A = this chain, B = another copy of it.
Amino acid sequence: MLLCVYNTHSKNNMPNKLYKKIAKSTKKHPSKQNIKIAVDNCIFTVINDKLYILLIQMKKKPYTNKWALPGGLIGDKETSHNAALRILNEQTAVSDVYLEQLFTFDRPDRDPFGRVVSVAHFALIPNRGINLRTISKYADVKWQRVSDLPKLAYDHDEIVKYAKKRLAWKIKYTNVVWSLLPEKFTFTELQNVYETILGKRLDRRNFRKKFLALKLIKSTGKKVMRGVHRPAMTYQFKSREAKIVDIL
């Protein structure tokens, strides 16, 4: 099942005729404003019950070999949402993604190459055998444990900090967990995601009770072995769409 999540602010009504009209009339804004606008993605996933974000390694000075969030300028006819999807696709080729606008970072000195305002985005993807690919612009790409982040380029430390907060909130008050999990998962796996993100242990019985009461997931009827012990029932989400539900 392929899934794209769009927020309502990036409506899909962008007829090409309109682009042309816009292109023709762009001189009507008198200002000599010289600011570029970009997108940076904070992409989370869970691998072996640990939380990771995607980092790229930069080539250009003064950030040579520094790690940073993947990003890039927005196209003239592109929404920031689509720019974020495009950039996400450059590294991951995933399609099953939860994506939302995070915050716009605009300190005038945040980019040494000139004034660039960044519309940071926040993505959650399940770790289903994603093949990372490095594009020529970057030296490398990798998944980095969130609990062990290096100092990042630009103001990306700040963006990640903000994104972590948003993630903790999201997971508590919405059902976005589905976007971090494989299609079938055990209750322990589900709980581990919560414990990792919230940074605290939860009572197994209470967690199970509460989560089942939300009626978001159903048993698949199949059990799975996850080690030398009793097999665990697997579950799946009944529906994969964004909802606001008070979870924990």
Contact = CB atoms under 8 A, between A and B. Distances in A.
Interface stretch (A34-42, A203-211, A221-229): A34-42
A183 interface: no
Interface string A57-78: 0000000000000001111111
Contacts of A104: 80, 101, 104, 119
Interface string A100-121: 1101111111001111110100
A154 interface: no
A236 to B, nearest CB: 15
A131 interface: no
A247 interface: no
Nearest to A5: B241
Q: How many copies does the complex hold?
A: 2
A163 to B, nearest CB: 12
Interface string A181-193: 0000000000000
Nearest to A18: B109
In the A-B complex, the 3 residue pairs with the smallest Cβ-Cβ separation, listed nearest first, are A3-B242, A2-B8, A26-B75
Interface of A: 1-16, 18-19, 22-23, 25-31, 33-37, 72-83, 85-86, 89, 95, 100-101, 103-109, 112-117, 119, 137, 158, 162, 240-242
12 contacts: A1-B242, A4-B16, A12-B18, A13-B109, A22-B75, A22-B82, A26-B83, A26-B114, A33-B36, A33-B76, A77-B115, A80-B106
